Amino acid sequence: MARMASPAQLGYPAAPNRVGKRRVITAPRHLLQIEGMHPPQIDTMLDLAESYVLLNRSGTTQRDLLRGRTLINLFFEDSTRTRTSFELAGKRLGADVINMSVSTSSVNKGETLLDTAATLNAMNCDLLVVRHGQSGAPNLLAQKVDAAVINAGDGTHEHPTQALLDALTIRRRKGRLEGLVVAICGDVLHSRVARSNIHLLGTMGCRVRVVAPPTLIPNQAERLGVDVFHNMKDGLQDADVVMMLRLQRERMSGAGSLVPSPREYFRFWGLDAEKLAFAKDDAIVMHPGPMNRGVEIDSAIADDPVRSVIREQVEMGVAVRMAVLDLLARSNRRND
Ligand code: NCD
pLDDT of 164-177, one tens digit each? 999 999 999 999 99
Q: What is the dihedral of CA 73, 75, 78, 79, to 10 degrees?
A: -30
* Euclidean distance between the first and the last CA atom of the chain, given in angstroms as a whole number: 29
Counting from 1 in the atom list of ligand 1, the atom nearest the Cα of 159 is: 4
Is the CB of 82 within 6 Å of ligand 1?
yes
Q: Which residues pair with residue 229 across a beta bridge? A: 211
pLDDT band with cut points at 50, 70 and 90 for residue 25: very low
Instruction: Give the separation between CA 221 and CA 212, rounded to whole angstroms.
Output: 12
For residue 5, give every residue at least 6 positions away whose Cβ sits within 8 Å of its Cβ, in sequence order, or none: 47, 48, 50, 51
Is the CB of 249 within 6 Å of ligand 1?
no
Ligand 1 centre to CA of 290 (Å) is 7
pLDDT of residue 112: 83
Give me Rg for the CA atoms of the chain: 20
Model-wide pTM > 0.85:
yes
Instruction: Give the separation between CA 40 and CA 292, rounded to whole angstroms.
Output: 35
Ligand 1 centre to CA of 20 (Å) is 45
> Could you count the other beta carbons within 10 Å of the beta carbon of residue 321?
28
Instruction: Give the separation between CA 170 and CA 183, rounded to whole angstroms.
Output: 13
pLDDT band with cut points at 50, 70 and 90 for residue 254: low
Ligand 1 centre to CA of 296 (Å) is 14
Averaged pLDDT, 107-127: 84
pLDDT of residue 256: 55
Is the CB of 56 within 6 Å of ligand 1?
no
| Best mutation site among 34, 162, 249 for ligand 1 pocket (most ligand atoms within 8 Å of CB) | 162
Is the CB of 186 within 6 Å of ligand 1?
no
pLDDT in tens, 268-282: 999 999 999 999 999
> Could you count the other beta carbons within 10 Å of the beta carbon of residue 4?
17
Counting from 1 in the atom list of ligand 1, the atom nearest the Cα of 81 is: 8
Ligand 1 centre to CA of 327 (Å) is 24
Secondary structure letter of residue 6 according to DSSP? P
- Quick check: 276 and 298 in contact, CB under 8 A? no
- Quick check: 56 and 318 in contact, CB under 8 A? yes
Is the CB of 153 within 6 Å of ligand 1?
yes
The angle, 0 to 180 degrees and rounded to 10, between the axes of the packed helices 192-203 and 39-57 is 110
> Could you count the other beta carbons within 10 Å of the beta carbon of residue 253?
7
Q: Provide the percentage of residues in the chain whose pLDDT is more than 70.
A: 87
Count CA atoms within 13 Å of residue 305 on its CB side: 0
Query: 142 burial class (0-12, 13-18, 19+ CB within 10 angstroms)?
Result: buried
Ligand 1 centre to CA of 246 (Å) is 8
Averaged pLDDT, 211-234: 96
